[in-house]
Amino acid sequence: MNLSKIYSAQFDVLKSFIVEIEVDIYKSGIPSFKIVGLPDKAVDESKERVSAAIKNIGFTKEDPKKFKVTVSLSPANEKKEGSLFDLPIAVGYLLANGDVDFNSDKKIFIGELSLDGSLKKVNGVLAMVKKAKNDGFTSIYLPKENATEASLISDINIFPVKELFDLVEHLNQENKKEKNLNKIISPYKEKININEVENNEVDFSDVVEQDIAKRALAIAAAGGHNIAMYGPAGTGKTMLARAFTTILPKLSKEQSLEVTEIHSAVGVLDEILISNPPFRSPHHTASYVAVIGGGTYPKPGEVTLAHRGVLFLDEFVEFDKKVLESLREPLEDRFVNISRAKGSVKFPANFTLIAALNPPSEVFRNGGFVSYGEEQKFKKKLSGPIMDRIDLWTEVSKVKHEKLSDKNIKSEKSESIRKKTERAREIQKERYGEEILNANISVRDINKYINLNEEQKDLLKNAAEKMDFSPRVYHKILKISQTIADLDNDGMIEKEHILEALQYRPKEII
């Protein structure tokens, strides 16, 4: 019988699925090598890599291209992408041709082949291993370079493979079921400690002065509020933004795996495990698709890569207006819906936005000339709905030169601020009964959990009328007041907390 069945997996953005690979070899008729089942160009080209690798490892003297070979990828209605099917197609061919004999049940194979039979690293491994485990598979064979990442998923045997030749030898020996077998490939045993990765970013104490901005950032971290910093160029806005992740709590194990899985699937995973909140800072020339996500076959954008972390938009008003307006959905709903003719997908986008901008008024104050056109451009980019969705607005002013070199100036370290953030978030968890932050609560939750006395209600009412608050802004002031109370007073709102919250509304910055 010249037919075999092998299992692999495909990561489809953030949703993976198992792929059943059938290989049929017919040694008569016109030679051909066909792959069916909606393969993309990379998958279709695997027939060239597989043929060369099988020939070069020396397990068969006959070139696979001399026969009529048909490879079927199922489910046939799902698109198959990437080079990760090289290994299972090669193993399937060798099994169908009788060069290897083993039970393929409950085994997953993924990996890209070099022409000499060695394996190369592939993307999306974490998502595929997770799917394989959930579907009852017990073993997964993958490139050696992917083994550490795959080991983050427990209770499934991870077999790191360096060469196709070694894998074939291993599978043949495994089938013999002999005692004291010479183990060519052994299960990967090392485990990663989620606390091993340290954050070496800028510390809050590295930023001189700017106490008001630091306080606003601490409130943003405690309650998950979006924040905008404005002021002259070179005053430390970018430095403060980069230090922001150091006052955020570390990700839990579940959150860490979730974020790592996203970065692995997109192919931007720079470390084995992301245990600190991610920090994404796209350039202001980034396109709508790059920031929000999309494409013919939808892919995540920066808002999804910033999930559970920070999206920093420097030179905020220089971003395309379409990009800024499209931030409304993720800022409000914490996810992005992308619809195309071939289907729609929903990407997570629960991040804290930090915007930095240099208003035209600062140019004018420093002796520069601001044209009417520049003012109008600034006002047009900062539409009311976008400004309303940014909870905190804080000015970052110039620091006197002599203070920059004053070693006697002491600033609170990030570690100290992070402990306060963690405590404030614990209060919120106790209040709401789940891990939800003040910035994300609904109007119903506001009415249920945030209680003001008559004096506080009158204060907020008068401020809302005087400053012409929209209902959204009114509720945001309540949320910010509650966060300040969580930071300072174990959750009991005082008059001073409301007054401070009002100070973070946008001033006349144009």
Contact between 263 and 269 under an 8 Å Cβ cutoff? The reply is yes
Q: Which is nearest to 305 in space by CA: 325, 291, 324?
A: 291
What b/e sequence results for 331-367 when a residue is b if at least 16 CB atoms lie within 10 Å of its CB, and e otherwise? beebebebeeeeeebebbbbbbbbbbbbbbbbeeeee
pLDDT by residue for the chain (510 residues), tens only, comes to 589 999 999 987 677 899 999 999 988 878 889 999 999 999 999 999 999 999 888 876 677 778 899 999 999 988 898 899 999 999 999 999 888 889 999 999 999 999 999 999 998 899 999 999 999 999 999 999 999 889 888 889 999 999 999 999 899 887 766 544 556 677 777 665 544 444 456 888 888 778 899 999 999 999 999 999 988 888 889 999 999 999 999 999 889 989 998 988 888 887 778 889 999 999 999 999 999 988 877 889 999 999 999 999 999 988 988 899 899 889 888 899 887 766 678 899 999 999 998 876 554 344 444 555 666 666 676 777 788 889 999 988 877 655 556 666 667 889 999 999 999 999 999 999 888 999 999 999 999 999 999 999 999 999 999 988 888 889 999 999 999 999 998 889 999 999 999 999 886 554
Q: What sign does the CA torsion over 428, 430, 435, 440 have? A: negative
Check residue 344 and give its pLDDT. Answer: 77
211/217 Cα distance (integer angstroms): 10
Compute φ and ψ for 119, nearest 5 degrees. -105, 145
Is 233 strand, coil or helix? coil
Is 356 strand, coil or helix? strand
Q: What residue type is 132 in one-letter code?
A: A
The CB density around residue 56, as the number of other CB atoms within 10 Å, is 16
Check residue 365 and give its pLDDT. Answer: 47
Q: Which residues have C-beta within 8 Å of that of residue 97, sequence separation ≥ 6? A: 2, 25, 60
Check residue 507 and give its pLDDT. Answer: 67
Is 15 strand, coil or helix? strand
> With the CA atoms of 384, 385, 388 and 391 taken in that order, what torsion angle do they form, in degrees rounded to the nearest 10?
-130
104/6 Cα distance (integer angstroms): 6
The CB density around residue 199, as the number of other CB atoms within 10 Å, is 16
Q: Which is nearest to 250 in space by CA: 170, 309, 304?
A: 309
350/258 Cα distance (integer angstroms): 12
Contact between 334 and 346 under an 8 Å Cβ cutoff? The reply is no
Cα 508 from chain centroid?
35
Helix, strand, coil % in the chain, rounded to nearest 5: 45, 20, 40
465/57 Cα distance (integer angstroms): 79
Burial (CB count within 10 angstroms: exposed 0-12, middle 13-18, buried 19+), residue 451? exposed
- Taken in order of first residue, the domains within the chain and their CATH numbers are 3-176 (3.30.230.10), 204-503 (3.40.50.300)
- How many Cα atoms within 13 Å fall on the side-chain side of residue 39? 21
Q: Go through the chain and tell me how many residues it has.
A: 510
Check residue 382 and give its pLDDT. Answer: 74
Q: Which is nearest to 310 in space by CA: 423, 395, 229?
A: 229
Q: Which is nearest to 103 in space by CA: 114, 111, 95?
A: 95
Burial (CB count within 10 angstroms: exposed 0-12, middle 13-18, buried 19+), residue 58? exposed
Cα 300 from chain centroid?
9
The CB density around residue 493, as the number of other CB atoms within 10 Å, is 21
Q: Give 168-203 as a DSSP string.
A: HHHHHHHHHT-TT---SS--------TTSPPP-S--
Q: Which residues have C-beta within 8 Å of that of residue 319, sequence separation ≥ 6? A: 284, 286, 291, 313, 381
Check residue 294 and give its pLDDT. Answer: 84
Ramachandran sector of residue 146 (left: φ over 0; alpha: ψ -120 to 50; beta: rest):
alpha
506/392 Cα distance (integer angstroms): 8
The token pair that represents 299 in the structure block:
């892919």
Pairing of the two strands 310-313 and 279-280: parallel
Cα angle for residues 320, 509, 356 (degrees, 5° grid): 50
Compute φ and ψ for 419, nearest 5 degrees. -65, -40
Is 165 strand, coil or helix? helix
Is 454 strand, coil or helix? helix
Burial (CB count within 10 angstroms: exposed 0-12, middle 13-18, buried 19+), residue 373? exposed
The CB density around residue 371, as the number of other CB atoms within 10 Å, is 9
Pairing of the two strands 352-357 and 227-230: parallel
